[in-house]
Structure 1
């Protein structure tokens, strides 16, 4: 037998009202029913929760210790009911999935602004590639996602929010010719990119294919921030979102590699569960769009 919410509710009301009789009347059940719930709770926990003195009861030390647990558990249950009855993700845990580009530039500000507007909000963030975020959205495991070229079902609303510029980037120690490189020439260099499951990897291979080339040495890394460090250390040339290395390019810590064929930009969408959309989720969408514009995250902020 496990502890039940009914048992904890009976315990809570006895503590609040001071007697089994008053708790039974408040909950609309018989006093023997309340007594049975407490006996079952005490048996499950292996402790006595009350001492009885006529109609009045006093809590034992174990009863005192249980108060906080019962309050938290019942509060969480109430929050759960409110969340699903209202279909408002801001009443519970807001589950957000984002690309690493968005996470590196905008995520701290997004969390800060949501906290200002919704002080009790809890946020669960997943950072991953487009395939991962799309899958989580499709499986109802995320409320909202910032996704590159999403592959989602009809229960997910897609709001186009921009295009992210991509380019080949090298560290300052890499020797590059004066003229732009062809895919055939770049294919002989040591390259680093996202794993094969990522959209960025497919974009890289399609770029080489368009130039009739196949790269001979491609390392992969599932962390964009680590990939950037590898590029800055001049260990390999990487295909990167230009916005995330804009500061390094400006101060000369990185060099944009000129190429003869431009790399296609990635389309980015803000995606959310259609069934959960309402004023609360709209406020999250609005804040996200504000930050994208402020941080100039995309080449075309709003399409």
Structure 2
């Protein structure tokens, strides 16, 4: 479909005149008439009632005009995006929760480089509390964290959710039956750092049960938590998406626990002031990448 014809159609409909449209496009009235006639032939409908003065849209023309306007708008946005992607440079200070590192961060960075090839990334991997502070003191431009960040000066885009599961080394030979919390406390509980939501929820839950107090091996490194679990130091509560390969390989086992912690919800969060176009574009890319990851994980 000839884009120039669509542009001419919208212009004539707006101005109500072939002559005025010709003046706007620095061409002749016959050229405008030819474009409209060509579009009408292509679509198989009459767009204008040429006998009216000024000319008016036919019923089919009125129906198709919003589609033509949307095509022009989308083309304009595409050009703007291409211009921004080409011109945008500098450094994006990106904060990332380690859960994202173990799931879709690599995919995100590949797409980011394709979309914004002139942009450098200075990455910090840390717990959510510290990433939140980085956004507020403006030492970070964008963060993928357990959100949202409840501050009026921070924008939040929903990314994804990761269910937490109880896992253990298959060498511990734990039963397949439903396991009560009282049985889990026989082993050290390996999980997120103490200044995180998962640790708070898990520790508060274990405080409610009778018997021996739970022993916690907490760490800000999920890689360390995974290694300790594989080495039979204890059982752990980690995102299923992170440990699925080890479960499939047979080195780890998902426990059928009676209680599991809440799923982790992540957002792409960035300060609204001052506006950072690189952070906004990167956040939009992250939303798409996270959605694609979740879609594939649920297949």
TM-score, with normalisation over the residues of structure 2?
0.64
Distance of aligned partners of 1:279 and 1:122 in 2 relative to their CA distance in 1, 3 Å threshold: closer
In structure 1, the residue matched to 2:167 is: 169
Q: Which runs of 5+ in 1 are unaligned?
A: 1-85
Counterpart residue number, 2:179: 181
Query: In structure 2, the residue corresponding to 1:136 is in which secondary structure?
Result: helix
Q: Distance in 1 between matches of 2:187 and 2:220?
A: 20
Distance of 1:110 and 1:283 partners within structure 2? 12
Residue in 2 that maps onto 1:106: 104
* Counterparts in 2 of 1:204 and 1:229: CA distance versus 1, 3 Å: same
Cα offset, 1:298, TM superposition? 10
The answer (yes or no) to whether the contact 1:137–1:152 under 8 Å persists in 2 is no
Seen in structure 2, the aligned counterparts of structure 1 residues 142 and 279 have a Cα distance that, compared at 3 Å, is closer
1:262 aligned to which of 260, 263, 268:
260
**Aligned residue in 2 for 1:229:** 227
Aligned to 2:157: 159
Task: List per-residue Cα deviations over 1:141-181 (Å, max 9, x = no partner).
Answer: 11111111344421111222232200111111112133222
Q: Residues 207-232 of structure 1: CA distance to partner in whole angstroms, max 9, x if unpaired?
A: 32455576432212221012111112
Q: Which residue of 2 aligns with 1:25?
A: none
Match of 2:102, SS?
A: helix
- Aligned partner of 2:249 in structure 1 is 251
Per the TM alignment, residue 297 of structure 1 is displaced from its structure 2 partner at its CA by: 8.3
Tell me, yes or no, if the aligned pair for 1:96 and 1:143 is still in contact at 8 Å.
yes
In the TM superposition, what is the alpha-carbon distance from 1:239 to its structure 2 partner?
1.0
Mean CA deviation greater in 108-117 or 276-285: 276-285
1:291: Cα distance to partner? Answer: 1.5
Does the 8 Å contact 1:164/1:299 carry over to 2?
Answer: no
Instruction: Structure 2 unaligned segments of length 5 or more: list them.
Output: 1-83
CA gap of 1:113–1:276, structure 2 versus 1, over 3 A, is farther
Aligned residues: 213
| Cα RMSD after superposing both structures | 2.6
Deviations 1:225-268 (A, max 9, x none): 12111112222111101110111112222111111123211222
TM-score using structure 1 length: 0.63
| 8 A contact 1:243–1:297 mirrored in 2 | no
Partner of 1:6: none
**Which SS does the other structure have where 1:285 is aligned?**
helix
Cα distance, 1:111 vs structure 2: 2.0
With over 3 angstroms needed to count, the CA separation of the structure-2 counterparts of 1:126 and 1:169, relative to structure 1, is same
**Cα distance in 2, alignment partners of residues 241 and 226 from structure 1:** 14
Using the alignment, how far apart are the partners of 1:230 and 1:297 within structure 2? 30
Deviations 1:63-108 (A, max 9, x none): xxxxxxxxxxxxxxxxxxxxxxx9xx95321011111011122222
Q: Does residue 1:288 correspond to 2:286, yes or no?
A: yes
SS in 2 for 1:126: strand
Q: Contact 2:166–2:260 (CA<8 Å) still a contact in 1?
A: no
Residue aligning to 2:53? none
